[in-house]
Amino acid sequence: MKYIKLILVTIFLTFSTNVYSVGGLNIPKLPVPGLGGGGINMDQLTGKQSQLVKSMTGALLQLTKAQAKFLEALGEKEAAIAARMYVDALKKGEAIGKDDLEKALNQTEKSQEVINKKVLEVKVLDAKAKVIFASGLPPYGKGVSGLVSTGFQAQQTVSSLDLNPMIIAKIGSLLFIAKNTPGAITLFSNSTGTMMDFASTNEIDTKPLEEAKDAMGD
């Protein structure tokens, strides 16, 4: 939890200290020597944005693959199909736009909420379902780790900038990632413990889940 708390505290400071509002989003004005105002290298900044968008979509891709397996194992066929619909879009990597990124993140959170509910209802899987569920654990661990890393890097980047409307217009995806990853990380932090209990009950190897908890500092 220490990494999650650090991210949440930094995001709070970033979006609450010396802010102004653009389109309903509170934008920070936190100049850092060498980076603030006219000293910003836009090529470098947009390059960082592309890197983090690619990292975010990669994390969501892994999580979506995992969730499709979990939902299938838990008997949620329609939800599993809905999850798979986003896999091809996420494979576009850095080419994905902010709107698609937002839809994918929302779908990932929605799928996880369904999974959290079902593991409490189903409790015990049959042999075939155990194999399917277990196959989702490695990508789940990778996805959670990627989400934590991307969120932390995004908030660090945003907090280092003295933003103005021209810059904001060019880094919408970066701002989206910085603002929205903390909530997703909190969801998956809570989910991972529940899933570990479920996997243990069904005698499924929990190592990928333990690695996910380590990534979150739990």
Q: Which of 32-36, 130-134, 153-157, 208-212 has the lowest mean pLDDT?
A: 32-36
What was the pLDDT predicted at 211? 86
CA torsion through residues 67, 99, 7, 151, sign: positive
pLDDT at 93: 62
Average the pLDDT over 59-65 and give the result.
95
Question: Phi and psi dihedrals of 27, rounded to 5?
Answer: -105, 130
Cα(37)–Cα(30) distance, rounded to whole angstroms?
A: 10
pLDDT of residue 204: 96
Poorest-pLDDT segment among 13-27, 159-173, 203-217 = 13-27
* Residue 63 near residue 147, CB atoms below 8 Å: yes
pLDDT band at 108 (very low <50, low <70, confident <90, very high): very high
Distance, in Å, from the CA atom of 178 to the CA atom of 142, rounded to the nearest integer, reads 19
Instruction: Find the mean pLDDT for residues 124-128.
Output: 96
DSSP state of 34: T
Helices 98-122 and 77-90 cross at an angle (nearest 10°) of 150
pLDDT at position 95? 62
Query: What is the H or E stretch that residue 22 is in?
Result: strand 19-22
Asked if the model's pLDDT at residue 14 lies above 50, the reply is: no
What separation in angstroms does the CA of 170 have from each of 1, 23, 72, 90, 159? 32, 14, 39, 21, 16
Q: How many helices (H) and strands (E) does the chain have?
A: 9, 2
pLDDT at 20: 39
pLDDT at position 41 is 85
Report the predicted TM-score, pTM, of the whole model to 2 decimal places: 0.80
pLDDT at 140 over 70: yes
Could you give the CA distance from residue 82 to residue 68 in angstroms, rounded to a whole number? 8
**Mean of pLDDT over the chain:** 83
